[in-house]
A and B are shown apart, each in its own frame.
Chain A
Amino acid sequence: MARKPVLFSSLVKPIKAWWQRIFFSVGIVACTLFLLMDRGEVGYVREIRLSLTDALMPITQTIFHPIKSFSKFVDDFKSLSQAHEKVRVLGVQVRELQAELIMTRGLLTQNKRLKEQTNFVDFPDTRIITGRVVTHSGGPFVKSMLINIGQNNGARLGQAVMSEFGLVGIIVEVATSFSRVLQITDINSQIPVVTENTRDPAIMAGDNTKFPKLKFIPSDSLIAVGDRIVTSGHGGVLPPDIPIGHIAEINATSVHVSSLVDWDRLDYIRILDYRFADNLSQYLNNPLD
């Protein structure tokens, strides 16, 4: 009785399947280890991440260019149709602001004199660095963005990043030409804040939604919907009184804040360069010093 010929492919097939399974298992283990090392802020994993960010960003920006131009064209077209109404509204706003400007100048002079009389020790002057948003993650896993200001331009860990009106987030990674900003809405973001009028302290914690929560509010607090929220300056990471938003909702279990930042149109950002951030960078780089 003749034996059936053994085909080479029939021998290779199970080996290939096993090889793929082994590779999958090794891949999952390697990724989990990488994830843990990244979360544990192991030095060389952070270095790899920063080097890859510097290498990838120019390519990304090149690919974005035509997409951005098209988006801008559509935006321009949309705003063109509303131009007449916008000009009228702006005219009204300019008149209102001119009146407020005269009053503000008087208050500034008065404030300066009072500070001199009481020997008030003020916070150091803040320098502003302006840049652009390069990438913006739109998923539910993480809320962060890359900006085109890096170590070369004066970015440092812990610096506050703002839009025209409010706090966007804090710098958590600094590469040579780019930095990563952890948004105030991210699940890992926790910022000490106070209510502007009553000065009730709290911690604003992100939850990856558009409305971060307020935690640890004093039990006798008289907060109400619409109250403005600003940074408290506690902890020495952020300067005090940076505007963040206002209370949007108070329910039985939580208080939610609506940010002043227009996340949909966030293109330009400002970094506040102040002395606190120097201390934080030194601490993060050499925690034992």
Chain B
Amino acid sequence: MRLVFSQGFFEGFKKIVPELSILFLAILSVQPQSLLGNSVISPFLCLSAVFYWSLHRQGLFYVITLIILGIISDILTGASLGFTPILFLTVFTISSWQRKNVLLKPFHLIWGAFSLVSGLTFVIAWAITSIVSFQYAVVGPFATQYFMTVITFPLLVWLLSHIQKAVSV
């Protein structure tokens, strides 16, 4: 009986591993006193995770979960509610749409696809920031975070693929 319960728990846990990984990365990104320092712009790791799981876990990865995770991220960062879910949904939709064309390609092509998708997402983020603050937002910090996100993508993919293998998601 106990074994059945623990098996059920593990099965349930496996199903929410993608969501948990995105949540953990969202929390990690707002951690104060990081080793790099607070003023250093950190990569948008959640975006990379959303892209990865959208390719690998399409069937289970529902839009409503992304909206909830985005809202949690907005509360943690202090962004306007709804800002991050829009970015997540953009990445999710494009990667789901192009999933068949991307998934079995060599890694450098997947990386290229991510740099294009995240580039578009950062343009949307910049446009929303400019519109809601009624002024032209400086492009520099957006460009810095975009490049950091693209550069750290292979590392995050390596980590997430190991997690995926470990729990056989």
Instruction: Report which A residues bind B (CB closer than 8 A).
Output: 20, 23-24, 27-28, 30-35, 37-39, 45, 48-49, 52-53, 56, 60, 63-64, 67-68, 71-72, 74-75, 133-142, 144-146, 180, 182, 187-188, 207-210, 263-267
Contacts of A136 on B, CB cut-off 8 Å? 30-33, 38
Contacts of A263 on B, CB cut-off 8 Å? 37-39
Interface pair A56/B72, CB less than 8 Å apart: yes
Is B142 engaged at the interface, CB distance under 8 Å to the other chain?
A: yes
Q: Which of B4-12, B131-139, B154-162 contacts A (4 or more CB under 8 A)?
A: B131-139
Main secondary structure of the interface of B (DSSP, over half): helix
Q: Which 4 A-B pairs have the closest CB atoms?
A: A264-B37, A140-B141, A144-B78, A34-B82
Contacts of B142 on A, CB cut-off 8 Å? 140
Contacts of B18 on A, CB cut-off 8 Å? none
Contacts of A53 on B, CB cut-off 8 Å? 75
Contact with A along B123-149 (1 / 0, CB 8 A): 001001100110101101110110000
Interface pair A209/B32, CB less than 8 Å apart: no
What's the nearest-Cβ distance from chain A to residue B53, in Å?
Answer: 15
Interface pair A267/B33, CB less than 8 Å apart: yes
Interface pair A264/B38, CB less than 8 Å apart: yes
Contacts of B62 on A, CB cut-off 8 Å? 23
Q: Given contacts A180-B78, A187-B129, is CB(A64)–CB(B63) below 8 Å?
A: no
Interface pair B31/A135, CB less than 8 Å apart: yes
CA of A32 to CA of B87, assembled, Å:
11
Identify which of B31, B32, B72 gathers the most chain A CB atoms within 10 Å of its CB.
B32
Contacts of B144 on A, CB cut-off 8 Å? 140
Is B44 engaged at the interface, CB distance under 8 Å to the other chain?
A: yes
Interface pair A138/B40, CB less than 8 Å apart: yes
A–B pairs, 5, beta carbons within 8 Å: A52-B75, A136-B30, A141-B83, A142-B78, A266-B32
Is B102 engaged at the interface, CB distance under 8 Å to the other chain?
A: no
CA of A8 to CA of B96, assembled, Å:
22
Q: Given contacts A24-B89, A67-B31, A187-B137, is CB(A35)–CB(B80) below 8 Å?
A: yes
Please tell me the number of chain B residues within 8 Å of chain A, measured between CB atoms.
53
Contacts of A210 on B, CB cut-off 8 Å? 39
Interface pair A20/B140, CB less than 8 Å apart: no
Contact with A along B19-40 (1 / 0, CB 8 A): 0000010011111111101111
Interface pair B86/A135, CB less than 8 Å apart: no
Q: Per a CB cutoff under 8 Å, which of B29, B33, B93 touches A139? A: B29
Q: Per a CB cutoff under 8 Å, which of B33, B96, B137 touches A71? A: B33
Chain A's closest residue to B63 (CB) is A23
